[in-house]
Amino acid sequence: MVLRLEVNATDLVRSRFAVSPLFELDNLLRKLSGLDHRRLPASWSSRLRPVFRRLRAETPLDSVLALQTPHYGAGFTSPPPRSLAQTIEDDLATVRATPLRVARQEIDKCLRLAPVSDERALAVLGDRRVVSLLADTLETAWHELLAPDWPLLRAILERDVVHRSGLLGRVGWAAAIDGLDRKLRWRDGAIELSWRHEIPDRTIVVGGTGLLLIPGVFIWPKLAVQIDPPWPRTLMYPARGTAGLWRPADSRPPGALAALVGRSRATLLVALAEPASTTQLARSLGLAPGAVGDHLSVLRQSGLVHRARSGRSVLYQRTPLGDALAGEP
C-alpha cells in the first residue's frame, strides 16, 4: 500500500511541529503491555515494568489498555497537541473536556475491534464517569511512569525539532521529509508512505490545513500517520537521538578530548553535534544549567562553539574546529 498526502504551498506554510506528552505515554504503554512487539531496552524495562504491573493492580489501567489495538486507539485519550509548549496538564484538560457521547463512540469502536472480557475493565468503560476515571488513571500513570524522565525526553524531542527546522530552512521540505523514515519520501508535490498492508493505495488531499509533525521517543523505531478526525493530517516519527538514549554510554567523550578540555566540556562538545540550548543540554546530560552555561562560555571563547538566536531560544552549535576536536568530519 502507498498512502499519498498531496500538499500545496499553503500546507507547507501552515505545517507545524508539536510535542505530545500523552502520545509518549500511549506508546510507552503499548511497549509495556506487549501490544508493540518492539520492547523497551532491558534497563528501561527492568525499571518501569514493576511500576506498570503495580498500576494494573491498583488502578483502572487495564481499562486504558483495552482502548488500544494494533492499528487503532481511542483518540480522546491521546488528543492532538497544539504546540511545542504542550504540557501534560494541557493534554489531561483536553481529555477531561471530552463529551461522554464522543467517548462512548470511540470506546464502542475499540471494543468491536478488540473485544474485552475483563469485567473490571468493562465496568469502568461502562460507567457514566468513564471520561474522568480514565483521565485520572492517565494522570497517575504519567506521574508514576514518565514524569521523572520527561525533562530528558522533552530535550530530545526539542532538539529533533531544531534539527528538522534547520533542514527546512536550508534545503527545503523534500530533504526534511526524506530524512524522517526510509518508508517515507517526497515525490511530485506529495508525501508518500509505503506500507506492507494488503489494502488499496490511497491519496489524501491535505487541502491547505497543513501537516502536524510530532517527534516521539517511544514510537521508535517505527513511523505512524494519523488521518482521522479530530486529528489534523499528522506524521509521527522517531526523534533523532532516541537510539542514543537507550545506549547513553555511546555519548561519552574520547579520553584524549576530556584530558584536553576537561570531561564536562568534552561531554558538551560531543553532545553539540546538533544545535541545543543551555536548558536542553542540562536536561539531557543531567548537569546544572549554571554549570552548563559556564562551560559553554569557555568553549565559545575558545572558538569551539558558536551561538545564534532561534525564536526565544539561544542555540549553541559546534564550529568546524569543534567538529574536528570532537572527531567528526
pLDDT value, residue 250: 45
pLDDT-derived band at 126 (thresholds 50, 70, 90) equals: very high
- Hey, how many other C-beta atoms are within 10 angstroms of the C-beta on 222? 14
Query: Tell me: the pLDDT tens digits for 136-182?
Result: 999 999 999 999 889 888 888 888 888 788 777 777 777 777 777 77
Residue 226 has pLDDT above 80, yes or no: yes
pLDDT value, residue 249: 44
The residue ranking higher by pLDDT, 13 or 49, is 49
Interhelix angle 289-301/263-271, rounded to 10 degrees, is 80
Domain ranges in the chain are 2-18+152-243, 21-148, 252-326
Upper half-sphere CA count for residue 64 (Cβ side, 13 Å): 31
CATH tag, 252-326: 1.10.10.10
pLDDT value, residue 247: 58
* Whole-number percent of the chain with pLDDT over 90: 40
pLDDT value, residue 172: 78
Over residues 222-233, mean pLDDT: 82
pLDDT-derived band at 254 (thresholds 50, 70, 90) equals: low
Q: Where are the beta strands (DSSP E) in 7-133?
A: 16-17, 68-69, 72-73
Place of cell 490511497: 202
Q: Is 318 helix (H, G, I), strand (E, B) or coil?
A: strand
Query: Tell me: the pLDDT tens digits for 309-324?
Result: 765 668 888 898 888 8
Query: Tell me: the pLDDT tens digits for 177-203?
Result: 777 777 888 888 788 888 666 567 888
Of 33-47, 48-62, 144-158, 275-289, the poorest mean pLDDT is in 275-289
**39: which DSSP letter?**
P
pLDDT value, residue 186: 83
8 close to 16: Cβ distance less than 8 angstroms:
no
- Picking from 122, 148, 20, the residue whose alpha carbon sits closest to that of residue 65 is 122
Name all contacts of 121-127 with Cβ < 8 Å and 24+ positions apart.
121/60, 121/62, 121/63, 121/65, 121/66, 122/66, 124/60, 124/63, 125/63, 125/66, 125/67
Place of cell 506554510: 13
Query: Tell me: the pLDDT tens digits for 279-312?
Result: 878 877 778 889 999 999 999 999 999 987 765 6
Please tell me the pTM assigned to this model: 0.78
Helices (H), 34-149: 42-58, 61-65, 88-96, 100-113, 119-126, 130-141
Residue 252 has pLDDT above 60, yes or no: no
Tell me the pLDDT of the chain averaged across its residues: 86
- Picking from 310, 245, 305, 306, the residue whose alpha carbon sits closest to that of residue 270 is 305
CA distance 170 to 164: 10
Joined grid coordinates for residue 241: 537521538
119 close to 202: Cβ distance less than 8 angstroms:
no
The residue ranking higher by pLDDT, 185 or 92, is 92
pLDDT value, residue 200: 74
The span from the first CA to the last CA of the chain, in angstroms, equals 39
Joined grid coordinates for residue 137: 488513571
- Hey, how many other C-beta atoms are within 10 angstroms of the C-beta on 12? 15
Joined grid coordinates for residue 7: 500538499
The residue ranking higher by pLDDT, 95 or 183, is 95
Over residues 24-33, mean pLDDT: 95
Q: Residue 252: which H helix or E strand, with range?
A: none
pLDDT value, residue 102: 95
- Picking from 72, 78, 145, the residue whose alpha carbon sits closest to that of residue 113 is 72
Q: What angle do CA 184, 214, 85 make, to 5 degrees?
A: 160
CA distance 324 to 329: 6
- Picking from 163, 311, 172, 166, the residue whose alpha carbon sits closest to that of residue 237 is 163
- Hey, how many other C-beta atoms are within 10 angstroms of the C-beta on 125? 25
Over residues 253-273, mean pLDDT: 82
CA distance 323 to 327: 6
pLDDT value, residue 120: 95
